[in-house]
Structure formats: structure tokens, C-alpha cells
Structure 1
């Protein structure tokens, strides 16, 4: 597929194009995850650059070639009227609470623009989850994208962590995360790609980001970056071929997160709090179903 076709696919993408329509979704949210300093922010800058005309490179997402990372908040960057890319806070030590925060970002339970603080206690996490119910977001179609630098060798322990994250992405979103390998020319990306495919990745695309010092548009580099966005949209189209229920799916994501926290905590008091939250989720689900049935008795819950 040539650059013109890729740009056209992205620029004219519509959630209404399928025979079932948008089913309640209003926006595609491309959620970026990865370890700190692996190039998430640079990838966002590159995506915006290849979708625009001209050779003027900008850095709307603050990026720096560092292993420490800069992103501390969930920051949103619109690519089109329908597609938004989100730079989530990168992982570092990946302890139980940090992993839970990652899934809270993936599930869209932390508002866009809010600073992400790695918490060290259950109560603080539950407070954030409760606050997310004040203005629940049901209308974003989430596509996970995992960014990994080929300059890094994947240790066995980290590989298992990434594999588990990929599996949980499928449970929460129904989509296998797209793998973006950055710094394509600075390592053996073919070996890293093979390892990700052995972990279950379906789409792995190696790219070289554009930067302030390397911003002359080339055919290969631009095509690789556009292919990532196009692959995400093809996943959305595929999922929308089946009946969806955005409200129910959000409830299921929250139940997954609560179960995940339950599995990683042992305190009896914590377990009691989780059980109480589960009951609140169950009651809220019943209320939503009753509301839908009362509004449209003929409507079947997907």
C-alpha cells in the first residue's frame, strides 16, 4: 500500500462505515505503553509529522533521547477528528501497584491530562477508581500499542512481564497490542521482532522516529509509521463487525482491574474493600441494564 492510500485510509476513517455503525463509540484512542525512555513521545511526534504536509518538524509531545523518560501524565494528541493518540506514563520497576496503574490507564480510568502517580497502597488506587465514575467514559474505542526500543535486549523476566501485559490487553480490549520497535537501525530488530511474535504479537512494525536532527521525510520511514496507524484502524474495523456494547465493556474492564488487584494483594482488609467494590460494580451493572431495558424494551444487551 502506498503512502497516498495509507494517508487516505487514516484521514477518511469513520467509525460509522461498518454495517453495524459506530455502536456508541465516538473516538478511536490509540493507547501507547512501554518502558520509560523507549520512544513513545517521539513516536507521537513522528505520527503527527507524517500526516501533515511539508517538512516542518515539531515536537508537540516532549521527547528526549534518554533512558529515564519524561511523560508523567496521560497526554492526548489528536491525529484526526476521530483518532487520538495517548502518551501514557512509562513503566520502570513494574511492581504490583505500578502494574495496576498501567491497567488503570489502559482501561481509561485515569482522566486524560491527569498526572499519573505510582501509588503504594490500595486505598489510594480505589479512590481513583471511584472518582472515575464521576464522568465515566464509554465512547472511546481503545487500541493498545506497545513501544519497545531495539537498543534494549529483553531479559527473560521482562519478557514474561510483557507477555502477560499483552494477554491482559486482549482481555481488557479484545485487541492484541500492536508492537512498535523504535530505533530500528540501532539494534537487531529482526531478533526482537521474532521474540515478540513468539509471545503472541500479531503485528510488529520496526520504525525509525523523526527527530529535530533527522527530519527529512523518506519513503520507507514514513510508510513504516503510517502502517502502525493503519494497522490499528483495521483492528477497529474488524471488532466493529461484531455487536459491541461500550457500557458493558467498560464495566468488564473495571471488573478485570479489581480482580487483578485482588490477585496481587493479601491483606484481609484489602480483600474486604475489593469485595465491597465488586458489589458496587455488580449493582451498577444491574442498574445500567435496567435503564437500557426501560429505555428500549426491545433492545438486547450484547
Structure 2
């Protein structure tokens, strides 16, 4: 598909085009997820730049990877009247608490425009879910896009964590996350693509973002960027071929969040219990050794 056709497909996309219509959805929400400093904000700027005419790149989303990620608030950037891209707060470690916040962003539990603060206890997480029901958003069709820089190798432990993360994204949205590998010319993106496909990824696209320093539009770079958006829309069309219920799907996402928080709570309680047992055993062992030492002196 040539670049002209890609642009037309994106600009003319309409949720009503399928045989079953929009089924209650009013907008496609492209949810950018990933670690801090991997190029999510730059990708937004690149998408808007490629869809616009001219050679003047506007930094709609502030992007300075050298600071380790700047996005603290979920921000929305419209690509068309029906397609919006969300710059979600990136995480640093993907531990249990940060993963829960990422899922909350993906599921629109945290409203767009709200600052994302990593919570450190389960009661605050549960309260955030309940507060989201004051103004529930169920008309956005959610498409997860995971942004990962091609220069960062993935170790076996991270692979298992990411595999679980990708699986959970499917459970929450019905869409396998599209993988966007940034910094294409600086890393072994072919090896990275292989790793993500082994984790279950179906679509992996390596790109080079446009920046104010490198903003001359080229056919290859622009086509790669447009292919990401086009892939997301093809997923939407496919899912809308089956009957959907946006209200029910939001309820299911809420159930997923409750269950996920409950499971990590049980995990942390188990770890705490095991630590207490270990500390108690070490204390008793130390006491026994001290008692033996006292007896030998006598």
C-alpha cells in the first residue's frame, strides 16, 4: 500500500463503515504504553507530522528522552475527528504497582487529563477504580500500542513479564498490542522483532521518529509510521465485525482490575509472611547459637 493510500485510509476512517456499524463506539483511542524514555511522545509528534502537510514539525507532545521521560499526565492528541492518540505515563520497572497503574491507564480508569501518580497500596488502587465510575467512559474503542526502543535488549525475566503484560492487554481490549520499535537505525530491530513475536506479538513495526533535528520527510520513515496507525485501524475493523457491547466490556475491564489488584495483594502478603517466618527462624537460630556458647563457657 502506497503512502497516499495509507493517508486516505486513516483520514477517511469511520466507525460506522462496518456491517454492524459503530455498536456504540464514538472514537478510536490509540493507547501508547511503555517504559519511560522509549519515544512515546516523539512518536505522537511524528504521527501528526506525517499526516500534516509541509515540513514544519510541531512538538505537540514534549519529548526529551534524555530526562528519562517527561509525561506525567494522560494527554490526548487528535489525529482525525475519530482517532485520538493518548500519551500515557511510562513506567520504569514494571513492578506490580506500576503495572496496575498502566492497566488503569489502558482501561481508561484514570481519566484523560489527570496526573498519574504511582500508588503504593491496594486501598488507593481500589478507590481509584471506584472513583472512575462517577464519569464512566465506555464509548472509546481501545487499541494498545506498546513502544519499545530497539537499543534495549530484553533478558529472559523481562520477556516473561512482557509476555504476561501483552496477554493482559488482550484480555482488557480484545486487541493484541501493536509493537512499535523506536530508534530503528541504532539497534538490532530484527532481533527485537523476533523476541516480541516469541512473546505473542502479531504486528511489530520498527520506525525512526522525526525530530526537530531530523525532520526532512522521507518515504520510508513516513510509511513505517503510517503503517502503525493503519494496523490499529485494521484491528478495529476486524473486532467490529463481531457483536460488541461497550458497556459490558467496561464492566469486564473493571473486573479484571479488581482481580489483578487482589492477586498482587495476595502475592505481597505471601512474601511478607515468608519474610516474617525467615526472620523468626534466623532469630531462633541465632539465639540457639548464643545459648550453646554460654553453655560451653560454663
Q: Deviations over 1:94-118 (max 9, x none)?
A: 2211111111111110000100000
Query: Alpha-carbon deviation of 1:196?
Result: 0.5
Alpha-carbon separation, structure 1, partners of 2:213 and 2:67 = 19
The match for 1:255 is: 255
Runs of 4+ aligned residues of structure 1 deviating over 2 Å after TM superposition are 266-269
Q: Deviations over 1:154-204 (max 9, x none)?
A: 122211111111000110100000000000000110000011011111000
| 1:3 pairs with 2:3 | yes
Alpha-carbon separation, structure 1, partners of 2:74 and 2:116 = 7
Alpha-carbon separation, structure 2, partners of 1:103 and 1:117 = 13
Supply the RMSD in Å over aligned alpha carbons. Answer: 1.3
| 1:74 pairs with 2:99 | no
Alpha-carbon separation, structure 1, partners of 2:54 and 2:68 = 32
Query: Alpha-carbon deviation of 1:65?
Result: 2.9
- Give matches, 1:1-302, under 5 Å: 1-66=1-66, 68-266=68-266
Aligned residues: 269
**Structure 1 alignment gaps of length 5 or more:** 270-302
Q: 1:267 to 1:38 in 2, by over 3 A?
A: closer
Alpha-carbon separation, structure 2, partners of 1:67 and 1:142 = 29
Which is worse superposed, 207-216 or 70-79?
70-79
**Structure 2 alignment gaps of length 5 or more:** 270-298
Which structure dedicates a bigger proportion of its chain to helix? 2
Alpha-carbon separation, structure 1, partners of 2:144 and 2:67 = 22
- Given that 2:126 and 2:258 are in contact with CA atoms closer than 8 Å, whether structure 1 keeps it comes out as no
- Given that 2:181 and 2:206 are in contact with CA atoms closer than 8 Å, whether structure 1 keeps it comes out as yes
Query: Alpha-carbon deviation of 1:131?
Result: 1.1
Q: Deviations over 1:125-169 (max 9, x none)?
A: 122111100110010000000000011111222111111110001
Query: Alpha-carbon deviation of 1:266?
Result: 2.7
Report the TM-score, using the length of structure 2 for normalisation.
Answer: 0.88
- Given that 1:36 and 1:67 are in contact with CA atoms closer than 8 Å, whether structure 2 keeps it comes out as no
Alpha-carbon separation, structure 2, partners of 1:266 and 1:249 = 26
In our comparison, the structure showing a higher alpha carbon Rg is 2
Report the TM-score, using the length of structure 1 for normalisation.
Answer: 0.87
